[in-house]
A and B are shown apart, each in its own frame.
Chain A
Amino acid sequence: MMRSLFFGRLQKCISKTVWFSRMLCSAMLLLVSVNVSASSTGLVVTGLGGNDAYAEQFSAQGKIIVDALRSLDDSQAAPAASDSNENFMLLQAENATRDSIVSAIEKLGAKSSSAFYLILIGHGTVDAETWRFNLTGDDLTTEDLVAALATVNAEQQLVLVGTSASGALLDVLNQPGRLVVTATKSAGELNAVRFPEYLAKAMETTVADTDRNEILTLAEVYRYTNEQTQKYYENQKLLASEHARILGDSAERLPLARLGSLRSAKDDPVVAELLAKRLVLEDEFLAIKAKKPDMPIVDYYEELESVLLSIARLQQEIDVATGWVGSNE
């Protein structure tokens, strides 16, 4: 009961389409446990660079992102990090065409996964008719995306468009159960974006994992990426020409990557069992935190300490099982 009340409040907070009240929401975002044991599929696409520097950047970013997503893959069909992984595909360079993308979305979308991820990195443009993702051959348009995504079955979906002018897609891609992230707030932000650079950094390292549970959520990644992007412009003393946006509910519940020892031990049944126990404790921890405003402060920290001790002890077991070492932190 407590948790559902809490989530109701949290979802209300986040579903305000954009995070204008970032601080308020972010304080609450930490109070959510994430189950990574569900099945998922995804497609990462990098578009045309236009020059060598962009082409190299997009290619590297795409690889990092898909590798991170593959850490979620529990299937034994192919090695998780392999390019032949059928649940998480990467399309780049000449392989990334309009038809191949549409086809891949339809193929992955048809699978019975609980979560589906689509991440586009590259240059976007707009004209009077549509937004376009710059590709070899025909560009991918808004209409292509809408039609292809309509075939996706997964309950949870993420469409993350890290391109210029991507804000044009915000409303049109908005659907129940789908989170939409764009690197710009509107079609009018046309300069090449830096958002994917920090997105890749967030997914490659532990910097964005603020609760240190070794599970990166979209909320954590978005918060970090957005903050670093804005800092870039501040540090360069430039007017920011991109303002990322997020639309949809429960970004804090959508995992984007397993990290560290959890990643390497994800197929271990012992670890899975311990993680299930941890999930229970996390819920308990969150329930206490949710009661904080209504509790005497001394009682609150007493209760919190008790559950934190349990978590710490359990975490020691998990760390032994996963081979976690101090340097991971």
Chain B
Amino acid sequence: MRQGGWAVMSKTFFPIWQLYVKLRLCVSVSLLLGLFVSAPVQALTVFYGDDRHPDLQKCDQFAYVGQQTEANECYQRLGNHSEVLVQANAAAALGNVREANRHFRQASSDSNDPIIKTNWASLYLLTHQVSDAVSLYREALVIEPSFLPARLGMIEATMQTYEGRAREELRAILAEFPDNVHALMLQARIELELQNTDVARDILAKAKPLLEANGLPKLDYYTLQAGANLLEAKPIDSWVDQALADNPIYGDIYSSVAHYYIITYRYREAVDLYKKAVALNPQLAIAQRDLGINYLRINNVFGARYHIRKAFELDPFDAETVNTLRFLDKLDFMRVSVVDVPDKDNPDRTIGRVIIRLDREDADALEPYVQDLSIKAMQVFSERYQFQLKRPMIVELYHDHDDFGVRTVSTPGIGLLGVTFGYLTAMDSPKARPAGDFHWGSTLWHEIAHVFTLEATNHLLPRWFSEGLSVYEEWNTGPLVDRSIPIDTLIAIAKNDLLPIDTLDAGFVRPTYNGQVQVSYTQAGLICDFISSEWGHDALVVMLNAFAERASTSEALQQAIGIDGPAFDLLFNQHIETLYGDFSRSLDDFQVANRQMSRAVRTADWVSVAVLARNVIDRAPERVGDGNAYEVLANALREQNDNEGAVAVLLDWHERGGHGVDALRWLVRQLREQERFDEAAGIMDSINWVNPYVVEEHRWLGDYYLSKEQSKLAVREYDALLGLQPEDPAEALLGKARASLLDGEDELARRQVLYALEHAPFLRSAQKLLLEFNEGERVD
């Protein structure tokens, strides 16, 4: 039912293949030297090609059945083989990577045989150096363009980077060599990756007799069958038993299958399988690594550290292991705070707990806001989805984007903003990006919505529904009301490129055009919004519960609103046509109007700018993001000394979700000058969800809330201000003292007055308060 992909919830709509290209580059660079030193213990490799020397094949047979001692003795005997290539492959099988590399180099210098380059490339693949492997496969293909082992090797390498072209290339090879068992096994893996279990099983059915006829082990076959079972929520025991009957130490039957839990976001179950893998064969470095990484995803930091260290001992040159180990050291220095969330209607009752982990550098500034939003989110989502979290929710914000990358995919340089692994959600802090770059409050809201929808269904909901609900919640309950539809989505609507609801997951995991991931996010959000508006929010809850019971999308729709996917598509498309049909077909005119406006701005013709900007706003009033016409219009009015008009325009823009910090700051200044303090406070508060690092805003808001006797909000602002380590903290400390007084906590207030005077001993208002405390007079 699910058509998952990568196990993350991206907020940035970053094309997934680009992510993996980045991963690949990073890994290969950081491991450049690894080949010459390390002897990693890797997963068992089955050699399907007929190009392997018979002497090696004899040794391979021992390895296939788990007789590792015999296999190693056999490979060792080949150390003096007459053929250098055999020596190289034997050394590789023994894990003597440096020696293998030396032999391959020597063999390569003596001969132009493409098999040498191909085998050498496999050594690089084994040691995680994909780009170097690709280079060697290319060299082999230059020597012999149709050399099948190199073509297949190239596919294996590109599969590691999840590039979509592997599938197409494999189809071409199988059209040419339909009975090539290696190609069939690779194709089955790709189809399973895409969760096409029926297709994968058909391929495996075809491969099985070929494996038997060629006397090849069926270990990969069992693994893939088990993977298909897992994806279909069937027991895997029979496949495991068969694999272990053939090879009693074949730990890959667990660790490789665990991968299919990972791609369907089921980290706890994946951990269970990895544990079995390392219990069966503790020498499996990758299983140790993946167990550690996934322990980390479920917030078992102790377990993570233990297994990552084990992985490091086995393979110290695996970039993911090294990155994660370094990250764990940093994790120790993050500040952890715990908040118990009260029931909104019954404050004495606790509905859940939030554990917040922040970098110490910006913990003080962010913590009050993260706490505030996490509490609200838990209250809102518990009620809206009629689901209470069963464990503490962990919220992590990283001020270094690369730390966030390692935390989520073990590699820096990723193009994501936020990731949710069930109860744990991690994201960039606003400091990780240029000031005002993204609405971090909205991102956090989106991610926390994932926590609820994933856990309410035990991660069984399809990707589109999880993303759709998060976008829908951003629009309807989040701290930012902006719901402007991206231009790419409007183009897709105009071109009729929206996917049917039953196959919408494909838009996330195997996009067919640039920007389709972003389009799919928006479409999913629109679908949820449409269902809610037509059948009520409860219909979404019914669907959520249906997915928890393993319903398909059509089945869930039937249960919730009484129609199946195709019938829903008809209604949804009509709805979209009504909302966006005309506009999507007149996008060219809209863009012409935008260009005219921009030209007028360049010539500083402010009268024309104002007219043209109003025209653009009339055409698409919901477009409030980057390049919006509201800010242009406000600027044009300011240039004509019409500040009143500019204020009105920006208030309208802000109301619709506009959140550009510079324009809002100007607006706040104007409102304060006009003594419209309540409006100014609301806008200033919203700025902090984009850029929380401005001292003046926190100071003013703190004083404002204090004047309104809203002590908790005042303290939030003063705490955030103090977190920014201002040169002059005394006023904020005094503000906290006054807030404590409002709450009747005189002793705390007295201490805070002392803190204030410790910084500014001549601060008269603090002195006055101190004197009043000592004279026993209660301060008004």
Interface residues of A (CB under 8 A from B): 23, 26, 30, 210-214, 223-224, 227, 234, 237, 282, 285, 289, 301, 304-305, 308-309, 311-313, 315-316, 319, 324, 326, 328-329
Q: Which of A224, A312, A315, A329 gathers most chain B CB within 10 Å? A: A312
Closest 10 CB pairs of A and B: A312-B767, A212-B762, A213-B762, A210-B728, A212-B763, A212-B760, A308-B757, A211-B760, A329-B764, A312-B771
Evaluate whether A308 and B727 lie within 8 angstroms (CB atoms) in the complex, with A301-B751, A313-B771 already known: no
Chain A residues, CB < 8 A from B730: 210, 212
B694 to chain A, nearest CB (A): 9
Chain B residues, CB < 8 A from A312: 757, 767-768, 770-771
16 contacts between A and B (CB under 8 A): A26-B727, A210-B727, A210-B728, A211-B760, A212-B760, A213-B761, A285-B761, A301-B751, A308-B754, A309-B770, A311-B762, A312-B771, A313-B771, A315-B762, A316-B771, A328-B764
B767 touches A210 (CB 8 A): no
B754 touches A329 (CB 8 A): no
CA distance A311 to B774 in the complex (A): 14
Q: Is B435 an interface residue (CB 8 A)?
A: yes
Which B residues from 720 to 737 make CB contacts under 8 A with A? 725, 727-728, 730
Q: Is B765 an interface residue (CB 8 A)?
A: yes
Chain A residues, CB < 8 A from B725: 23
Q: Is B585 an interface residue (CB 8 A)?
A: no
A34 to chain B, nearest CB (A): 12
Q: Which of B751, B757, B765 gathers most chain A CB within 10 Å? A: B757
Chain A residues, CB < 8 A from B768: 312
Task: Produce 1/0 per residue, B407-439, CB < 8 A to A.
Answer: 000000000000000000000000000110000
B761 touches A211 (CB 8 A): yes
A201 to chain B, nearest CB (A): 14
CA distance A305 to B764 in the complex (A): 15
B774 touches A309 (CB 8 A): yes
Known: A212-B761, A312-B767, A326-B764. 12 other contacts (CB 8 A): A210-B760, A212-B763, A213-B761, A213-B762, A227-B727, A309-B770, A309-B771, A311-B762, A312-B757, A312-B771, A328-B764, A329-B764
Residue of A nearest to B755 (CB): A301
Task: Produce 1/0 per residue, B736-780, CB < 8 A to A.
Answer: 000000000000000100100111111111011011001000000
CA distance A214 to B764 in the complex (A): 11
Q: Choose one: A224, A234, A315, A316; the contact of B727 (CB below 8 Å).
A: A224
Which B residues from 441 to 482 make CB contacts under 8 A with A? none
A212 touches B770 (CB 8 A): no
Chain A residues, CB < 8 A from B767: 308, 311-312, 315-316
Residue of B nearest to A313 (CB): B771
Chain B residues, CB < 8 A from A224: 727
Chain B residues, CB < 8 A from A311: 761-762, 767
A275 to chain B, nearest CB (A): 12
Chain A residues, CB < 8 A from B763: 212, 329
Evaluate whether A223 and B727 lie within 8 angstroms (CB atoms) in the complex, with A301-B754, A312-B770 already known: yes
CA distance A17 to B754 in the complex (A): 33
Residue of B nearest to A285 (CB): B761
B11 to chain A, nearest CB (A): 23
Q: Which of B434, B727, B728, B770 gathers most chain A CB within 10 Å? A: B727
Evaluate whether A308 and B764 lie within 8 angstroms (CB atoms) in the complex, with A23-B725, A210-B728, A301-B751 already known: no
Residue of A nearest to B729 (CB): A210
Which B residues from 595 to 644 make CB contacts under 8 A with A? none
B764 touches A315 (CB 8 A): yes
Q: Which of B725, B730, B758 gathers most chain A CB within 10 Å? A: B758
CA distance A274 to B605 in the complex (A): 63
Chain B residues, CB < 8 A from A285: 761
A281 to chain B, nearest CB (A): 9
B762 to chain A, nearest CB (A): 4
Residue of A nearest to B434 (CB): A237
Evaluate whether A305 and B754 lie within 8 angstroms (CB atoms) in the complex, with A26-B727, A210-B727 already known: yes
Q: Choose one: B434, B758, B759, B774; the contact of A210 (CB below 8 Å).
A: B759
Chain B residues, CB < 8 A from A305: 754, 770
B209 to chain A, nearest CB (A): 66
A211 touches B762 (CB 8 A): yes
CA distance A315 to B763 in the complex (A): 10
A289 touches B758 (CB 8 A): yes
Chain B residues, CB < 8 A from A313: 771
B728 touches A282 (CB 8 A): no
CA distance A181 to B771 in the complex (A): 40
